[in-house]
């Protein structure tokens, strides 16, 4: 049986993961509307990944005898200054998610819940990857000045991304 405080915090995390999905879909719409179909694809794939994260938490709560309680998802922003601003906002958002995951881990340690600690290790590692991915794109956008042929080449590269659910461990 999952600790009630952990159950509440994981339910909150499910909401944040679903918000992340909405945020990345909104960013995808903005990018596509601005002629950057590759970057829009990257964000749609990111949205799929966030949905996967939410459902992984959803399943975990149920497997531990808890109760998933869904809450309203806030509306994400719809307009951004530039493609660079989209990816900077994404990185900032992922840093917030990292902090939430770390606080969940702190709580799991505090209540001595080894199963949840084990489960959360995957998310801790995932957040390192998420932040690095967005920082790498930001670095490239800054390198090309966020425009011109460099922007189009990066857009083409990001259009190749596909969602591949992680293999069960």
Contact 5, 111 (CB under 8 A): yes
Place of tokens 């990111």: 46
What are the structural domains of the chain?
4-70+81-158 (1.20.1260.10)
Q: Is the pLDDT of residue 167 over 60?
A: yes
Specify the range with the lowest mean pLDDT, choosing from 46-55, 74-83, 101-110, 141-150.
141-150
Phi, psi of 158 (to 5 degrees): -70, -20
Alpha-helical segments (H) within 70-113? 83-110
CA 102 to chain centre: 14
Question: What's the pLDDT score for residue 156?
Answer: 96
CA 69 to chain centre: 20
pLDDT in tens, 124-145: 999 999 999 999 999 999 999 9
DSSP H or E segment with residue 79: none
Question: What's the pLDDT score for residue 134?
Answer: 98
- pLDDT grade for 169, boundaries at 50, 70 and 90: low
Q: Is the pLDDT of residue 164 over 70?
A: yes
- The CA distances from residue 10 to 80, 106, 128, in Å, are 30, 13, 20
CA atoms of 131 and 12, how far apart (whole Å): 21
- pLDDT grade for 146, boundaries at 50, 70 and 90: confident
CA atoms of 146 and 88, how far apart (whole Å): 12
């Amino acid at each position: 049986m999952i600790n009630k405080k952990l159950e509440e915090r994981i339910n909150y995390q499910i909401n944040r993961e679903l918000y992340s999905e909405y945020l990345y879909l909104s960013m995808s719409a903005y990018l596509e509307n601005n002629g950057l179909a590759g970057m829009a694809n990257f964000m749609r794939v990111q949205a799929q990944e966030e949905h996967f994260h939410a459902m992984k938490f959803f399943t975990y709560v149920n497997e531990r005898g808890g109760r998933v309680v869904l809450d309203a998802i806030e509306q994400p922003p719809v307009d951004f200054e530039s493609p660079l601003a989209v990816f900077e906002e994404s990185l900032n958002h992922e840093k917030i998610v990292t902090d939430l995951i770390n606080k969940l881990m702190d709580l799991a340690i505090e209540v001595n819940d080894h199963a949840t600690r084990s489960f959360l290790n995957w998310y801790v590692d995932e957040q390192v990857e998420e932040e690095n991915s967005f920082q790498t794109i930001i670095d490239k956008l800054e390198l090309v000045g966020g425009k011109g042929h460099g922007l189009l080449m990066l857009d083409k590269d990001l259009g190749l991304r596909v969602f591949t659910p992680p293999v069960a461990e």
